[in-house]
Amino acid sequence: MSAHCQLTGAVPGFGNQISHSHRRTPRRFDVNVQRKRYWLPSEGRHVRLRLSAKGIKTVDTIGIEAAVARIRARGVKV
């Protein structure tokens, strides 16, 4: 499952593409996931995270230390 955010846990949503004639075909709403590299001062190293756009804004708000603590609390290895 590659298209998920490590911080917020956002995963793709599923629905239907509806044509002009109202025929429905399956489609997938992907999360805006990007790889981002942050400096983690407490460990003296860089960490590379897969974050959604909302996850990046959350890191900017709460800081990388708190964000890594939340990710580890979810059971994800960083």
4-49 pLDDT, tens digit per residue, is 999 999 999 999 999 999 999 999 999 999 999 999 999 999 999 9
- Res 2: pLDDT: 79
**What is the spatial distance between Cα 6 and Cα 73, in angstroms, rounded to a whole number?**
11
Burial 29-53 (b: 16+ CB within 10 A, else e): eebebeeeebeeeeeeeeeebbbbe
Full-model pTM = 0.86
Interval 46-74: pLDDT, tens: 999 999 999 999 999 999 999 999 999 99
